[in-house]
Amino acid sequence: MQKFSFDHRLLENFNWPILFSSLILCAGGLLNLYSVSSAVEFSGEFSWFTRQLLYLIPGLAGLGAMLFLDYQYLRKLAWPFYAVNLICLIAVFFAGTKINGATRWLDVILFRFQPAEVIKVALVVLLAARLTRRKVDLLGFRDLCLPLLLIGVPFWLIHKQPDLGTALHLAATCLPMFLVLRFRAQVVMVAAVLAAILVGFVSFMQFSGSWHLLLEKGLVKPHQADRVKVYLNPEEHRAAGGWQVGQSENAVGSGQITGRGFMEGPQHKNGFLPEAETDFAFAALAEEWGFVGSVTVLAVFALLLTHGLAVAQFSKDRFGSLIALGLTSLLFWQVVINVGMVTGIFPVVGIPLPFISYGGTSLVTTFLSVGLILNIGMRRYLFQERPIRANPEVWNRQEEIFAPNRGSIRPLGPDTPLNPEMHPPHRLPHLRPWAKYLRKSKRGPLHWQDFAQY
């Protein structure tokens, strides 16, 4: 297997809407950061806008590298990639940088990064590799032990930083990867019981307000409990963060239909909107561009996500399908949680909005995710030097073909995305890449020799 390869015929399956929507969102995020940065004095340092431009260089480089790397090789890299990021998560507790009361970053020579963001991609790749390691029609408890452990260890480490929002986002990212699989009946029953217990517990905590139990056990931090209280009743808990939510909703509402205009948002210009460059970047955008601009951004996100799901659906094997599905889920939950937080639908958590919020690690990780989704979509079909000679069934299964060594030719397997792999081991190609070569011969019916040169 070639690790890095690129065939010009791969462009036939290149998903241009994913690339263009990503670049459009990135450009919109840079415009928003330029507006937000103009109201802040940086005392000789680079502004948020300038630093985001610098982060864009490794982000685009990572996207390009992902296009050339055959994603099947990631099976070998999955464990090392995951292990390195897990070590970085542990190193945060000993050599991490504390910002805004939380220790989540590592300083490495010239740059600072957040391991919790990178390990999400590593976990998706490793889970896809483990869940497709062997052909199993129905997964049982033994098949789920290791995948759940792989999720639980980084979840616990991130929760201890403390960063419960990112930990929950990590778990939510992996959930769709399990939902498309088939499980034994006892696994489904146990999962349903646990889900019912969880829903009942959350409902009890919501209506009773008994947060002291969770605080005593150390399951949640005081500021995390305050955020939930603010979410339930922001007017009574302004001192605990309700003021932030109120200012965010005021900024979104003040944009009205067409917005206040570029660089004319009074909420963030006068310093009323908290974290306008990161957590509440969408509020600043909505204030300046209004309902029209907000819906446009969400529509571009919807275009990106739907095409990501299409790549997962039509991938040629289950490994690629699960990676594309997991990475699309990663982006989906970031958009839903961040926009919901800004508009008051969800409690305030530190989840950035892809491409829009300021953050080098988030931007680079997002571009890597997009590049990997494009990679899987491009390699939906593999190419052979003489496809017709190798697989005559791909162009005509009804007509008798006089091909040499017909008994040694493997038939094309059925198209089974998101199901156990039924394709032959050497990944037979599909009809589409060479369909343009299938033209009728002047001598009459199609004949094998007519296509020998292909």
- Rounded to whole angstroms, the Cα distance separating 359 from 366 reads 11
**211, 205 in Cβ contact below 8 A?**
yes
pLDDT tens-place string over residues 231-268: 666 655 555 555 677 788 888 888 888 888 888 888 87
* Residue 244: how many other CB atoms lie within 10 Å: 21
Question: Nearest-CA neighbor of 378 among 52, 44, 7, 75?
Answer: 7
Given this model, what pLDDT does residue 325 score? Answer: 94
Distances (CA, A) of 94 to 106, 108, 140: 10, 14, 38
Closest alpha carbon to 441 in 397, 408, 395: 395
Higher-pLDDT residue of 128, 441: 128
Q: Are 334 and 355 in contact (CB under 8 A)?
A: no
Residue 144 burial (CB count, 10 A): 17
Return the H-helix or E-strand segment holding 111: strand 111-113
**Locus of tokens 């009946």:** 185
What contacts 24+ positions apart, CB below 8 Å, involve 410-414?
Answer: none
CB burial readout 186-196, b (16+ within 10 A) else e = ebeeeeeeeee
- Residue 103 phi/psi, 5-degree rounding, is -105, 100
Q: Which residue has the higher pLDDT, 282 or 217?
A: 282
Average pLDDT of the segment spanning 11-40:
89
pLDDT greater at residue 185 or residue 242: 185
Instruction: Name the band, by pLDDT with cuts 50, 70 and 90, for residue 112.
Output: confident
* pLDDT tens digits along 125-178: 999 999 888 776 788 888 888 999 999 999 999 988 878 888 889 999 999 999
Give the long-range contacts of residues 230-236, CB within 8 A, separation 24 or more.
Answer: 230/347, 230/348, 231/344, 231/346, 231/347, 231/348, 232/206, 234/344
Sort strands 111-113 and 96-99 into parallel, antiparallel or unpaired.
Answer: unpaired
Tell which wins on pLDDT, 445 or 279: 279
Half-sphere exposure of 156 (CA within 13 A, CB side): 7
Q: What is the mean pLDDT of the chain?
A: 77
Domain ranges of the chain: 8-185+232-378, 392-454
Instruction: Report which of 384, 371, 374 is spatially closest to residue 430, judged by C-alpha positions.
Output: 384
Q: Are 177 and 120 in contact (CB under 8 A)?
A: no
What is the distance between the alpha carbons of residues 70 and 84, in angstroms, rounded to a whole number?
21
- Contacts of 151 by beta carbon, 8 Å cutoff, 6+ apart: 123, 127, 170, 171, 174
pLDDT at 234: 61
What are 68-98's pLDDT values in tens digits? 888 888 888 999 999 999 999 998 888 877 7
Query: In whole angstroms, what is the distance from residue 56 CA to residue 288 CA?
Result: 24
pTM: 0.80
